[in-house]
Amino acid sequence: MPKTIRRSPLVAGVIALLVAVGVGVTACGGDDDSADLPAGVVARVGDANVTQEQLDAAISQTTAEAKSQGQTVPTEGSDGYDQVQQQALQSLVQQRIVGFEARECGNSCEVTDEQIDEDLARIIETNFNGKQKEFNDFLKDRGITQADARDIVKNGLQQQKLFNHVTRGVRFTEADAKAYYDEHPDEFKVAAGRTASHILVATEAEADRIRAEVTPENFAELARENSTDTASAKQGGSLGQIQKGQLVPEFEKVAFALKDGEISQPVKTQFGWHIITVDVTPARTTSFAEAKDQIIQTQLSQKRQTEFTTWSEGVLKDWEERTVYADADLKPPATTQAAEGAATAP
């Protein structure tokens, strides 16, 4: 679905599934444009049916979610509705594929009722202030039953377990990290930085008085006690990192001329009189020891994602011949890219 429609954890759960790993999704279905399926069945995945009632419910849930975000979804008979149907149906198809693959995976991908309960409790705590009534109202507004919610959570947990199972052998070692560090030196260069702090007062006399007693050690204390810039005063006068072009010229000229830890003489600007100090951080290169853990974490995550993407492509391809549609118009295009902005596997 369009990335402008922000989905709730539950509504997103239906859509995410295998398509959510960010892979290209090849249309499921045999060569026939349509298949003879029982009345009320819009698709069959293996031996699992997807009914018109289930499809209508999925579209209603998507529409309700969009409405809650102040957005709209094309209605039946309008331009774009065919795409809404196709995407909703593909989500249901992929939900069933995940279920089949999780069963094929075996014990390591089994999801228990206790795990579903725990994840629902986490969702309620995180997204609904820990209040069951808020969660129930959310479901009711979107036409999602409690059973639907449990199925959605179960399918999401199955996807996570499939991801862990498929990528269990993927490694990115310290030696791999060192090779990456050596091959990407620009990624570990840290530009020079300059942090400014100031004490702002109304008169030159007051500025001269404070300048006479201020030191690097008591600068923050005097800023909190005297500065009329109340926002920065609470932070000991800190203005954070500064860049040229951000400040009034009189202040900027002095702030960029000061050496690390140096305190200026009073400076007049349109805001009053400033006493300025800076903390200068020179340009440097992050050492391998500092960068190692982050490199391993990031590159291992990417490597696992690539492994899962490759597996997912093969799975979806394998299910093409085992998925049929009652109506050719409900089949997705021959190649459909995963929704932009979709969540990735954990």
Contact assessment for residue 62 and residue 73, using Cβ atoms and an 8 Å cutoff: yes
Q: Give pTM, 2 decimals.
A: 0.71
* Number of Cα atoms under 13 Å in the Cβ half of residue 132: 3
User: One digit per residue, pLDDT tens: the chain, 346 residues?
Assistant: 333 333 444 544 433 433 333 333 334 455 454 568 999 999 999 999 999 999 999 999 989 988 888 898 898 888 899 899 999 999 999 999 999 999 999 999 999 999 999 999 999 999 999 999 999 999 999 889 999 999 999 999 999 999 999 999 999 999 999 999 999 999 999 999 999 999 999 999 999 999 999 999 999 999 999 999 999 999 999 999 999 999 999 999 999 999 999 999 999 999 999 999 999 999 999 999 999 999 999 999 999 999 999 999 999 999 988 999 998 888 876 544 343 333 445 5
Those residues with Cβ within 8 angstroms of residue 159's Cβ, 6 or more apart along the chain or in another chain: 16, 17, 18, 20, 98, 345
Helix, coil or strand: residue 107: helix
φ/ψ of residue 146, rounded to 5: -60, -40
Q: Which two tokens stand for residue 200?
A: 């702002």
CA distances from 247 to 96, 258, 317 (A): 58, 15, 58
